[in-house]
Amino acid sequence: MSDLNDSPLRVAALVGSTRGGRFGPVVADWLLSQIAQRKDMEVDLVDLVETPLPTVMPAFGEQLPDEDMALLGAVAPRMESADAFIIITPEYNHSYPAALKNAIDWHNPQWHAKPVAFVSYGGISGGLRAVEHLRLVLAELNAMTIRNTVSFHNYGDKFDSDGKPLDPDCDVAAKALLDQLAWWGEALRDARTARPYTG
Ligand SMILES: Cc1cc2nc3c(=O)[nH]c(=O)nc-3n(C[C@H](O)[C@H](O)[C@H](O)COP(=O)(O)O)c2cc1C
Domain that holds residue 106: 9-54+67-189
pTM metric for this prediction = 0.97
Q: Strand runs (DSSP E) across 32-101, as ranges?
A: 41-47, 84-90
Which residues neighbour 100 within 8 Å (Cβ) at sequence distance 6 or greater? 14, 16, 17, 48, 87, 89, 134
Residue 182 resides in a domain:
yes
Residue 2 resides in a domain:
no
CA of 105 to the centre of ligand 1 (A): 21
Residue 196 resides in a domain:
no
Structurally, the chain folds into a number of domains equal to 1
CATH number for the domain spanning 146: value is: 3.40.50.360
Residues lining ligand 1, Cβ inside 6 A? 17, 19, 22-24, 90-94, 122-123, 125
| Contact of 158 with 167, CB cutoff 8 Å | yes
pLDDT tens-digit readout, 43-93 = 999 999 999 999 999 999 999 999 999 999 999 999 999 999 999 999 999
Residue 76 resides in a domain:
yes
Residue 33 resides in a domain:
yes
Residue 169 resides in a domain:
yes
Q: Distance from CA of residue 23 to its chain's centroid? A: 16
Residue 60 resides in a domain:
no
Q: Measuring from atom 2 of ligand 1, which residue has the nearest CA?
A: 92
pLDDT of residue 62: 96
